[in-house]
Amino acid sequence: MSLSISVENVSKVYRLGEINRGQFFGDVRRWVKGKFNPDHTFGDPETEAEQEPKAANLFYALKNVSFDIKQGETVGIIGANGAGKSTLLKLISRITAPSTGSIKINGRIGSLLEVGTGFHPDLTGRDNVFMNGAILGMNRTEVAAKFDDIVSFSGVEKFIDTPVKRYSSGMFVRLAFSVAAFLEPEILIVDEVLSVGDQTFQNKCIQRLKEIIKDGRTVLFVSHGAGQVRELCSRAICLKRGEVICDDEPNKALDHYQAAVIEAGGASAQKTANEFIPEVIFNKADRPGGDVVRILAARLRGDDGNLVRKVLTSEGIHVEVEYEVISEGYHLRPGCTVCDERGNVIFWTGDTSESHRSRAAQPGRHRTGFTIPPHFLAPSKIIFNFGVADAGISGQGYAQAPNALSLLVEDDLRDTLIRGAYQGVIGGFVRPKFDWKTR
């Protein structure tokens, strides 16, 4: 399989505190040089001596970064703020050139690095679509063939002939993403910009990216959303202070990312980085519910009975919830909605036994729970939302504890029961083991 991107010993140095005209003209010179290079090489390690920063005002945004990306790969670029992710994408997109090292590109690049990248504010949405197509090397007929799909996907039909400077940030990013996604570059580069859109549009973008990946195009994807990286990427590169600290399958790279966040932020970052919550015990004043019932606590346990923040796809999860019935005469049914981190419901489960419908719940403390069996969930961050509702037809809710617990489910690559010998990415929310009968 041929390479789409080859990055060799790339560094990017900035001089802090002053306008560096020499660097600007150096970038222009390297760009012109690369423009006429048939190998699309930027930077020239033979003629540009690498310099270690000897002055306090020299800053390495990237330092000796090297990796290859094969055609058709989907690679996540992750790292804490300031790790060098956006700088790396700008170098690959040819917005700027490396101080040292070289980048070789095989294919046409479409990039979405910032809201409205490549858009002229005084031109209409229609004009910007055609202009971006021209920048990608497409003629007007080729762009026109995709125009209706672009506009329909973006949802800005009513405003397509309005100057984009009058667009909201959400309209801007929807149209910008649609242009990048439908003009079919061989390489698509997407920075952390999808967060501008609402949840519905983010889900549409993810689905479109999946279609692009399925078409065999190369995708570089920057996201702080671990779930998106796990869902879309077969590989992830983690940067720390401008250097590659992990280039591996997504879960391993995300582990390095979490460690880097904790190190960068110290103790105050512990809560943010350690985002998985295996137990919650509500204070008396904060217990969800009212005069009928209140939720007291919830927790996640592994097969050994201990609290767990992380399990493998081959392991079971035991879910417990405690609630207190305050008023007599109510027929109550505890339940749980399990979602992914973007809010998509994976499944709902509740105790719908006849006993709850036929007998009123006795006042006092109740403990209940269920088990998610091994070989059921796909890799993801999952969220547990608990509730206690009427057990009858109305299903009226009396107590809700949203986003109460969270858990990381990691792929067990040794799980031959599900995978067989296959080691690649498997999509979907769940990954159950069904009985197959082949004749």
pLDDT for the residue 113 = 66
Instruction: Write out residues in the chain with pLDDT < 50, as ranges.
Output: 38, 40-53, 266-273
pLDDT digits 0-9 by tens, 80-101: 878 888 889 888 888 888 888 9
**pTM listed for this prediction:** 0.60
Residue type, 353: S
Integer Cα distance of 128 and 28 in angstroms: 25
- Given a contact cutoff of 8 angstroms between Cβ atoms, the answer to whether 314 and 375 are in contact is yes
Reading the block at residue 162, the tokens are: 């309005």
Question: Would you state the torsion angle of the CA atoms of residues 129, 194, 208, 163, taken in this order, to the nearest 10 degrees?
Answer: -20
Q: Which domains does the chain have, with CATH numbers?
A: 3-107+186-273 (3.40.50.300), 279-419 (2.70.50.60)
- Buried-exposed string 359-369: b where 16+ CB fall within 10 A, e elsewhere: eebeeeebebb
- 147 is written with which tokens? 């125009």
What integer pLDDT is reported at residue 56 of this predicted model?
60
Assess contact for 360 and 367: CB atoms under 8 A: no
Side-chain half-sphere CA neighbours of 307 within 13 A? 10
CA pair distance 433, 24, nearest whole angstrom:
58
Give the Cα-Cα-Cα angle 172, 203, 90 (nearest 5 degrees).
Answer: 50
pLDDT in tens, 219-242: 888 877 676 787 788 899 999 889
Looking at residue 198, its pLDDT comes to: 63
Tokens found for residue 401: 């504890």
Instruction: Give the pLDDT of residue 53.
Output: 44
Determine the distance from the C-alpha atom of residue 100 to the mean position of all C-alpha atoms in its chain, rounded to a whole number: 30
* Among candidate residues 222, 187, 190, the one with its CA nearest the CA of residue 78: 222
pLDDT attached to residue 65 = 92
